[in-house]
Structure 1
Amino acid sequence: MAMKKRFIFLPIILIVAAIFIFIVMSMARMPPPQETTERVPVLVEYHLAEPAEVQFTVPGQGNVIARHATQITAEVTGRIAWVSPKFVAGGFFAEGEPLLRIDAFDYETAHEEAKANLARAQASLAEERARGQVAEAEWRSIEAGEIPDLGLRRPQIASELANLQSAQARLAKAERDLERTEIKAPFAGVLQARNVNLGQYISVNTNVGTLFGTDVAEVRIPLSDFDLALVNVPTGRDSDFVGPDVRLQANIGGRSQEWVGTLVRTEGVVDPDRRVTFAVVQVQDPYNRIEQQHPEPLTFGRFVRAEVKGIKVADLIELPRYAVNSNQQVWVITDENILEQRTVEVYRRNQNSAYISAGLNRGDKVMLTQLENPLNGMKVRTPDDLENTDADSAADEG
C-alpha cells in the first residue's frame, strides 16, 4: 500500500521540480541588450521666398450690352406702306437707312396745300405794301400834314405779315410730317425687336422696334474697393488718360474666344445692395461692321469673364494659397531644419496664390507640406538633406 502511494506522488513531485528549475534558470538568464532607434524626422517640401515685382490682374464678369439702345417710335399717323427687307430681328442698318415708310398721300397733299397758302400770304402781303405806298404818295400830294398809320395801311401790312409767318410755319410742319413718314435708323445698329408689320395702321408714339448701336459694346464689371485700388481708373479730369486693357473671354461652341476692350470709366456710385462699384469696359466695333478686328463677333447679351490689367507692385513674395492659413500664418524651416510659425501680412489673395508684403525675408524656406499637427521646434527633413546624404554616400564609396 505504501509503494502505491509513492508511485502516485512521484509524477507530481517531478512536475513541481521541473517548474522550479525553469523559474530559477529564467531568472538567472541575462536580458537581451536593448537597441535604441532614432526617430527619423518627417520629409517636407518648401518654397524659397523671393521678393519680386508682381503685375496684378483683377477678375470680373458681366453681360455685353450696347452703348446706344433705343425704341424707335412713329412721329406721324398712318398705314405702313413699305418695310425694308432687313426690318427683322437681327437685321443690320447703317445710320440714316430707311426702316419703313408710312403712306404719305395725305401728307403730300397737306404739303402742297401749305405751299399754296404760303404763296397766297406772300401775295397778300405784297398787295398791302403796294397799297400802303400808293396811300403814302396820295397823302403827300395833298400836303395834309402827318400821315397816320391807318392811312399808310400799316395795321393791314402787319396782319398780312403775321399771316405769312403762319403760312411759313404750317409749310415747315407739313414738310417735317412728310419727312417723318419715312422712319430711318438714328445710328448704325442691329434691330433687336420688330413690333409692326406691313399694312398695319400706327399712330403717333407707336413703338415700331428696338435698335442696338453696333459701334461700341459695353460690359459692366463689379469691382470691390480693394479691386479698384489695383486698377488705374479714368477719372474724367484727364481727357488724354487711357484706361487699362481688359481681356474678355467666353466659350462659343465649345471653343474659348477672346476680345480686347478698354476700361473707360466707373459709374461713380456704390451699389447699395452688392456694395461694389461698377466699371464700364468698352469694345469697339463688336460686330466687325467696320473692319475684321475680332476673331468672332461679340454679340449683345453674351456673358463674358473679364481680366482687368492692374498695377504693378514691387517686393511681393508669391506663395501657394494653401501655404498661408486663415490666421495669416506660415511655417518657416530654419537653417537647423526646425519649424517656426510666423505671422505674415497678406497683400492680396487670388484663386491660386497669396502675395506676402511683410513677415518674410529673401531666402526663407516656407513649408508647403500640409502636416497634420505641426509644432514649433519640430525637426523636419527637406529634399536638400536627401541630396546631401546621397552625395556623402557616393564620396565614401569612391
Structure 2
Amino acid sequence: MSSFNNDFEQQYTQSKPKRSVMVYLAPVMIIVLGFVGCSGLSALAQKPEKKPSQVQLPVVDVAQLQKRDVTFTISSQGTVMPHTETSLISEVAGQITFVANKMRVGGFFQKGEVLMEIDPITYKVGVLEAQSRLDAAKATLVEEKARADQAEDEWELTGKPLSSAPVLALRLPQLQRAQADVEAAAADLQEAQLKLKRTKIIAPYDALVKAKYVDIGQYVGTGTQLVDTFAVDYAEVRLPVKQQDIGFIKLPKVNQEGDETNTVVISSQQGLRTLQWDSFISRYEGVVNDRSRVHYLVAKINDPYNLLTEDRDAELRMGMFVRASIKGKTYPDITAIPRSAIRGAGQVHLIDKDNKLKIITVDVLRSDKDYAYVRGELVDGSRVITTRLEMPIQGMELRVNSEEPDKTEATEAEVAIAKQSSSRVEQ
C-alpha cells in the first residue's frame, strides 16, 4: 500500500510544472490575439477626412474717418449781471410827497419817468428869491451903465482923450461891480432851479427797481439813499475761459467793442425746458487771473427782460447762473476721432485694407468729451479701431465685426497666435 502511494506522489510531482506554464500563457495569448484583431479592424475601417485648421482672428469695431472743416465750441458758465447799476441818492432835503405806483422791487421805468418827488415848496421859494435878486442886479447894472455913459460925456467936455481919464471918473469899477452882481444873481437862480428840479427823482435810463429804501411821507436829507436800479437794455455775462481754450476763440481787441459774429449761446435749465438766448462777445478784459489762470470774456445779451421787444417767451433775469457755448475759430481738414479710439498719449490703432493693425501716434489739436481733433496726419477714409486690444502688435491680422470671417487655412503657429490674441481681447 505504501509503495502505491509513493508512486502516485512521484507522478503528480512530475506533471505539476507543465500545468502551471499553461495557466500563465493563456491570458497573454488572449491579449495578443485581441490586439491583432483590433489592428486588423482599424486597418479595414475608412479613415475620416482631414479638415484644415481655421484662424480665429480677434474681432474689432471700427469707425470711418473723414476730414472736414471744424468750428470749435468752447464751453463756459457765468452769472447774468446788469451792465449799469445805480444807487439813486437824494441831492436835496425834504419830505417825500409822491411815489409812483410802479415804485417797487421789479418795477420797470422808462428813461425820464418820475420815480418819486420831494416836497418842492421850499425850493420854489428859493427860485423866486433868486429871480428877484437877479432882477435887482440887472436894474443896478442898467443904472451904472447910464452913469458911466454920463461920466464919459462929462470927461469929453474937458477936451482930453478918454484914455487919459481916471477909472473912477468914468465909474468903471461901479459898472464892473454891477455886472458881477448880475452874474452872481443869475448863478443863484440857476442853482435854485437845479435844486427844484432835483426834488423829482427821475429814471436815468430804462431801468428796473432792484431795491427801495424810502416811502411816501418820509423825510430825507441830502445824501440819503433812495432806490437802487439797473439798466435793462442789455445784460452781460462774464465768462471764464481756460488758457488752453483761449487760442481757439476770435478775440476782440481790448479797447474795441466786439461784433455780433462772435456768437455765444446762453442756456439755462428751467424745469423740463432748456431755454436759450443769443448773444455775442462784446469785449475781452485782457487780464489773466493770477490765481485760476483763466481769461475773462464778456457776453452781451440785448433786452434780457423782453421789455423792448417780444421776440422771446422767457426772461433772462439778473443773477441767474447760465451756461455758455462760445463759437470758436474754424479750422480746415480736421479729422474727428472718437475718444474711445485714443490710446495713451495720442496713440491710434488703424486697420488697413488687408485688415492688419497699424499703430500710429497723432498730435491732438484739441479734444472734448466725445472727440479728439487731429489736423493733417490721417488719410481721409481711414478706419480707426474703437475696440481696446489687450496686446496690440504692429501688423497683426484682425477681423472687422461687420465683415464675414475669411475661411483660410493656417499653419499650427498661426492658429496658436490667433487663439492667444483672441483670448487676450476677450479678457
**2-structure distance, mates of 1:25, 1:98:** 125
Show the counterpart of 1:98.
114
1:207 to 225, 234, 247: 225
Q: 2:232 corresponds to which letter in structure 1?
A: T
Show the counterpart of 2:99.
83
Unpaired runs of 5+ residues, structure 1, are: 1-13, 390-398
Contact 1:286 1:294 (8 Å CA) reproduced: no
1:273 to 286, 291, 310: 291
Show the counterpart of 2:189.
171
Contact 2:355 2:397 (8 Å CA) reproduced: yes
Show the counterpart of 1:5.
none
Cα offset for 1:242? 4.3
**1-structure distance, mates of 2:241, 2:101:** 43
**1:135 is the counterpart of 2:165:** no
Please, which moves more after superposition, 249-258 or 370-379? 370-379
**2-structure distance, mates of 1:381, 1:154:** 113
**1:65 is the counterpart of 2:87:** no
Contact 2:105 2:211 (8 Å CA) reproduced: yes
**Is the partner of 1:113 in helix, strand or coil?**
helix
**1:108 is the counterpart of 2:148:** no
**Aligned positions of 1:34-73 closer than 5 A:** 38=54, 40-73=56-89
**Aligned positions of 1:166-245 closer than 5 A:** 166-235=184-253, 242-245=260-263
Show the counterpart of 2:357.
339
Q: 2:122 corresponds to which letter in structure 1?
A: D
Show the counterpart of 2:423.
none
Q: 1:82 corresponds to which letter in structure 2?
A: F
Cα offset for 1:236? 6.6
**Is the partner of 2:141 in helix, strand or coil?**
helix
**Is the partner of 2:188 in helix, strand or coil?**
helix
CA RMSD of aligned residues (A): 3.5
Unpaired runs of 5+ residues, structure 2, are: 1-22, 43-47, 408-427
**1-structure distance, mates of 2:226, 2:383:** 69
Cα offset for 1:39? 5.3
Q: 2:143 corresponds to which letter in structure 1?
A: E
**187 and 265 in structure 1: CA distance in 2 versus 1, 3 angstrom threshold:** same
Cα offset for 1:340? 2.8
Show the counterpart of 2:345.
327
**2-structure distance, mates of 1:240, 1:278:** 14
**2-structure distance, mates of 1:29, 1:184:** 120
**Aligned positions of 1:273-292 closer than 5 A:** 273-292=291-310
Show the counterpart of 1:11.
none
Cα offset for 1:324? 0.7
**373 and 49 in structure 1: CA distance in 2 versus 1, 3 angstrom threshold:** same
Show the counterpart of 2:16.
none
**2-structure distance, mates of 1:223, 1:337:** 43
Could you tell me the TM-score, scaled by structure 1's length?
A: 0.84
**Deviations, residues 227-272 of structure 1 (Å, cap 9, x unaligned):** 3322222227887954322111111233111111122221112122
Contact 2:259 2:280 (8 Å CA) reproduced: no
**1-structure distance, mates of 2:259, 2:309:** 25
**2-structure distance, mates of 1:198, 1:239:** 43
Show the counterpart of 1:246.
264
Cα offset for 1:314? 1.4
Q: 1:185 corresponds to which letter in structure 2?
A: A
Larger Rg, first or second structure (1 or 2) = 2
Cα offset for 1:144? 7.7
**2-structure distance, mates of 1:140, 1:334:** 118
Contact 1:342 1:359 (8 Å CA) reproduced: no
Cα offset for 1:29? 8.8
**Is the partner of 2:282 in helix, strand or coil?**
strand
Contact 1:334 1:340 (8 Å CA) reproduced: yes
**Is the partner of 2:353 in helix, strand or coil?**
coil
**239 and 274 in structure 1: CA distance in 2 versus 1, 3 angstrom threshold:** closer
Show the counterpart of 1:8.
none
Show the counterpart of 1:121.
137
Cα offset for 1:337? 2.5
**1-structure distance, mates of 2:152, 2:374:** 100
**Is the partner of 2:268 in helix, strand or coil?**
strand
**166 and 329 in structure 1: CA distance in 2 versus 1, 3 angstrom threshold:** same
**2-structure distance, mates of 1:149, 1:207:** 54
**2-structure distance, mates of 1:25, 1:182:** 129
Cα offset for 1:202? 2.0
Could you tell me the TM-score, scaled by structure 2's length?
A: 0.79
1:308 to 322, 326, 344: 326
**338 and 388 in structure 1: CA distance in 2 versus 1, 3 angstrom threshold:** closer
Aligned residues: 379
Cα offset for 1:388? 7.1
1:374 to 363, 388, 392: 392
**2-structure distance, mates of 1:306, 1:50:** 28
**1:349 is the counterpart of 2:367:** yes
**130 and 357 in structure 1: CA distance in 2 versus 1, 3 angstrom threshold:** same
